[in-house]
Structure 1
Amino acid sequence: MTELDRYSRQMLFSPIGEEGQKKLASKKVLIVGMGALGTVLASHLVRAGVGHVTFADRDYVEKSNLQRQILFDENDVAASLPKAIAAEKKLKAINSDIKIEGIVADVTIDNMDDLLNGVDLVLDGTDNFQTRFLINDACFKKGIPFVYGGAVSSRGMSAIFVPGETPCLRCFIKEGETGGQTCDMVGVISPVVDIVASFQSVEALKYLVSADKARRNSLLSFDVWNYHIYELKYKKQDPSCPTCSLHQYPALKRSEQDSITSLCGRETVQIHLRKEFDLKEWADKLQNIGTVKETPFLLRVELKDHMRMVLFSDGRTLIQGTEDVSRAKAVYSKYIGM
């Protein structure tokens, strides 16, 4: 199959054309999160022929993901595959002509610099504002554009933020003012995810082919169930913004939340206090405290009282069955050690 065969319909679209297709082939993008938004974003950009698509995700595939996370299937659930691994496998079967790289990792202050190395554009596939503000601050510090997207219930939002040209995410959404609703609390329908990620992908393609005049200069908000659409046009940067005006980048300053985080609405607390786990070694250590399932990527231990521990080789542990940080720390301390 030649390049013309694969991308012929896209190249017939005059704003991209042959020249734009060559630009796409030379670009590298990072998708943070390989859940509902991330899977759609990755599918669009891989099929479009972006030369290097890399993505990072900390989680593994569960049955409840299949309703909206389009790259996964029941075999991935049965194998407890990390989302980054399952997605990489599926995407490489879609387009073998480009570089596709899935990374099993929590995106944090510690690895953000490495993840951004050589990246032309970052796309938001996350489900929480703590990580979004980290992406926003890191991108504006390095001068890398960032395409924001969010979906919950039947509502969606998207925008592209370009350092030096537009305000940043903090100019529109302040920490502590995000509403607190998550897909695990109020649900989400699959169509809104596809629409948000498609809007993100379109803005990404415009930026990557240098169609700057065609970029949307607004934060788009909509409700597909009740059919409401609203655009908040870009104005000047907020002069009090700690990121794009004051260059303080608060999300890049270390806090206690970096190591212990309650994943809202999921009855899960993530604890990241170690650099790595030898999964085989820990499978032996924990075999007497509950039912142990080991895969090449993680170790899952079913505990009493409907609790579960999931250990990853990068040193992370998920304590599932509670959102109480104190209780999770007690379980972790008992079986792993603080």
Structure 2
Amino acid sequence: MKEYQESRYSRQERFAPFGVSGQEAIMDRHVLIVGAGALGSAVAETLVRAGVGKITIADRDYVEWSNLQRQQLFTEQDAEDQLPKAEAARIRLQSINSEVRIESHIMDVRAEELADLAISCDLIMDATDNFDTRLMINDISQKLNIPWIYGGCVGSTGMSYTFIPDQTPCLNCLLGTIPLGGDTCDTAGILPQAVQVVAAYQTLEAMKLLSGNTNMLRMKLISFDLWRNESFEMKLDSARKVDCPSCGVDPVYPYLTTSNQTKSEVLCGRDTVQIRPARKIKLDLSMLADRLKGLPEGKISQNPHMVIFEMSRYRLVFFADGRALVHGTSDLIEAKNLYYRYLG
């Protein structure tokens, strides 16, 4: 086994600043990746190939055909089967490196779930598509003293920054300082190369952190536009606020409270609403599918992870945790009415 491991990771071990000691260090580390889409796929594959000891992946969505252009872990069969991204990623990653412990969670990550997932990890990697979740990651990072690495991309542009509790400003400090919102990959498109560059920045910083080479961290926000051949770095040290509710002298972690957790939300640019029940439930998917099969207005399909109910205008996807994705509308009230009509 020792000869196999040395051969497998020998090329990064021969990189002197990292070395055998860096490899041994990362093989004892646990990374949580929130999101298994474009960034999540690229980040997860790089860290698994590098030999990080344990990877936990959490994602709420399933594989669609439009994902295959940039989400490198998934296949046409995954899209055909509409596999949950977290599970499809786990299967593929385990085939890449059987030595790495990989956990997948098909869930909408909110404060309660995030606290459970993060409690034993050494680093959180952001691969989400919304700032609600990022602000929750930011608060749990500060509360549990776990670093996290932000990444975002759209079109030909991308951005990354490493947040370290007690050393850097937190995301809440930066609100109003860095541009948030704007275009999404659904409205402006995205080049896969932008994904790869952001993932490279994120995973390189992760390797430095996990191997103990914190003196080599960039400590700046980096932003680029590949199409225009532009890039710049920005120091953010002065953005840290002593009265920040997330990382200041008297933190209250506002984004971990129930009042700041969205129960229904329009998914970015997708004409889709996610509905999440206010309390934890567990659906019997087989029973639900049997019940919906008796309805004349829809077509039913299912796999072990979800029930899909398709009508002429809408497609409802029900998960075992009670969540539903309502495709075909961006109206929250309309989506909730459909949810209650078919789920109760």
Give TM-score scaled by structure 2 length. Answer: 0.94
AA at the equivalent of 1:277: L
**Which residue of 223, 244, 247 corresponds with 1:244?**
247
1:324 to 305, 325, 331: 331
**Structure 2 unmatched ranges of 5 or more:** none
Q: Which segment is superposed worse, 253-262 or 43-52?
A: 253-262
Shift of 1:139: 0.8
Change (3 A) 1:281 1:38: same
Aligned to 1:296: 304
Query: What's the secondary structure of 1:255's corresponding residue?
Result: helix
1:211-256, Cα deviation, whole Å (9 max, x unpaired): 1111001011111111111111131412342211141222111137
- For 1:1-338, what aligned pairs fall within 5 Å after superposition? 2-174=4-176, 178-236=180-238, 237-245=240-248, 246-255=250-259, 257-273=261-277, 275-287=281-293, 288=295, 289-304=297-312, 306-337=313-344
Q: Distance in 2 between matches of 1:176 and 1:148?
A: 13
1:113 Cα offset (Å): 1.2
Q: Matched residues in 2 for 1:175 and 1:252: separation?
A: 22
Aligned-residue Cα RMSD (Å) equals 1.5
Counterparts of 1:201 and 1:29, CA distance in 2: 11
User: In structure 2, what is the Cα distance between the partners aligned to 1:163 and 1:226?
Assistant: 34
Contact 1:264 1:323 in 2 (8 A): no
| C-alpha separation in 2, matches of 1:201 and 1:333 | 42
C-alpha distance in 2, partners of 1:249/1:178? 20
AA aligned to 2:342 is Y
Q: Structure 1: give runs of 5+ residues left out of the alignment.
A: none
Note the C-alpha offset of 1:177: 5.8
Of 29-38 and 125-134, deviating more is: 125-134
Q: How many residues align?
A: 336
**Cα distance, 1:331–1:263 mapped onto 2, change above 3 Å:** same
Q: Deviations over 1:40-83 (max 9, x none)?
A: 00011000000001110000000000000000010001111000
TM-score when normalising by structure 1: 0.96
In structure 1, C-alpha distance between the alignment counterparts of 2:271 and 2:177, rounded to whole Å: 22
Q: What is the deviation of 1:173?
A: 3.1
- Asked if the contact 1:147/1:158 (under 8 Å) is kept, the reply is yes
CA contact (8 A) 2:129 2:268 kept: no
Q: Residues of 2 paired with 1:92 and 1:290: CA distance?
A: 37
Q: Deviations over 1:79-115 (max 9, x none)?
A: 1100011110110111011201111111001211110
1:300-329 CA distances to partner (integer Å, 9 max, x unpaired)?
A: 00023x201000011111111011101101
- Mapped partners of 2:206, 2:145: distance in 1: 16
Say which is worse superposed, 47-56 or 325-334, in terms of deviation.
Answer: 325-334
**Structure 2 SS opposite 1:258:** coil
